[in-house]
Structure 1
């Protein structure tokens, strides 16, 4: 869910209600777009929009002019994932030990 207030916009993942799409324009800029789904869907199931891409049609988007910037974002996502897995495993071990 996209949550916007005066100070920030939060992309709250985990319910399948954020539609994500990516594209590259002819000038070489890569985009990842985000918008709310009307209803939660299946997480990690791609959705495609056959419309012509216009950045102004999306409430939130990321733009990339360098591949290294995408690599940096992927690295941070992998780091967050790794830490979430570690925490989940620790909690499971604690629950199994009781």
Structure 2
């Protein structure tokens, strides 16, 4: 979501802008999966069935994270490398931090 203040101060759009509808669709699917898991626990469903659904939701979130990382590399890092090499170093450092968070290292 682009904030009005981002547009006003000249901040470029996020790297995922072109794929935003796909990312939102995946996130809505995950949201539905989590609601389903909540209903399963409320209905006292079998533990392994609940764990299977948790695993599926976790995997779906990881796929969104990987897609966002890909967008960041292809858009933000690449554009910085082409137009502003010092900014590219900053974007690469951000990418390294994001990878560590995503991979939990």
How would you bin the TM-score normalised by the shorter chain? 0.3 to 0.5
More helix by share: 2
TM-score, normalised on structure 2? 0.34
More strand by share: 1
- Greater relative contact order structure (CA < 8 Å, 6+ sep): 2
For the pair shown, which has the larger CA radius of gyration, 1 or 2?
2
